[in-house]
Amino acid sequence: NVVLFEDFENVDEGWGPFMYGWQGPMNTHFSEANPPYTDDTIQGKYSLKTRREGSPDMVYRTVPATLKLKPDTTYTVSFDYLSDTPECFQLVTGHDGEEANQIDQRDVIPDGSWTVKRFSATIKTSSQPDNFIGISKIDKDKVGTLVIDNLLIQE
């Protein structure tokens, strides 16, 4: 059962289901295909690119208004990606409660070879109503680039 598919080709505003997860300077944007001069778009005309993000943790995430994840539910989250730094970023699953961005699960995005790979993780949401997925940095001092495309969430 497909819950969401996003290829970032027809986004009216923002970054599809994601919003910025930190209050500092922002280095996330849509990369636009421009061969042979750029190689940071995976498929189609646009991909979502994060480059040398200054965030110490959450780079971007969903909110219930952009992606409603049911409590106590198992989902598969997958996407195509490019990364130039191994183990710099991770998919996080969490919920908002008394504090925002409470992380329940972390799945490391392993490869940093700047070759398109497919990432996939099985996640389980919390019993709380406001669950989210996002991309965060693993180490605030490690910088790198992450490009994602063809995001698929299945229940």
Cα–Cα dist 97/84, whole Å: 34
Q: What is the pLDDT of residues 46-59, one digit of tens each?
A: 999 999 877 778 89
Give per-residue burial for 80-105: e unless 16+ CB within 10 Å, then b. Answer: bbbbbbeebbbbbbbbbeeeebeeeb
More confident residue, 4 or 20: 4
Q: What is the CATH number of the domain that holds 40?
A: 2.60.120.260
Confidence of residue 113 (pLDDT cuts 50, 70, 90): very high
- What single DSSP character describes residue 83? E
> Would residue 52 be called left, alpha or beta, if left means φ above 0 and alpha means ψ between -120 and 50 degrees?
left
Handedness of CA 53, 56, 62, 65 (dihedral sign): negative
What does the alpha-carbon distance between residue 3 and residue 22 come to, in Å, rounded to a whole number? 26
Number of domains the chain is built from: 1
What mean pLDDT value characterizes the chain? 93
pLDDT tier, 101 (very low <50, low <70, confident <90, very high otherwise): confident
Residue pointed to by tokens 């106590």: 72
pLDDT over 90 percentage in the chain: 79
Q: pLDDT digits over 56-73, tens only?
A: 788 999 999 999 999 999
Q: What is the pLDDT of residue 25?
A: 66
Q: Taking Cα atoms as reference points, which of 125, 121, 127, 129 lies closest to residue 151?
A: 121
Summarised one tens digit per residue, pLDDT across range 124-133 is: 999 999 999 9
Domain residue limits at 117: 2-154
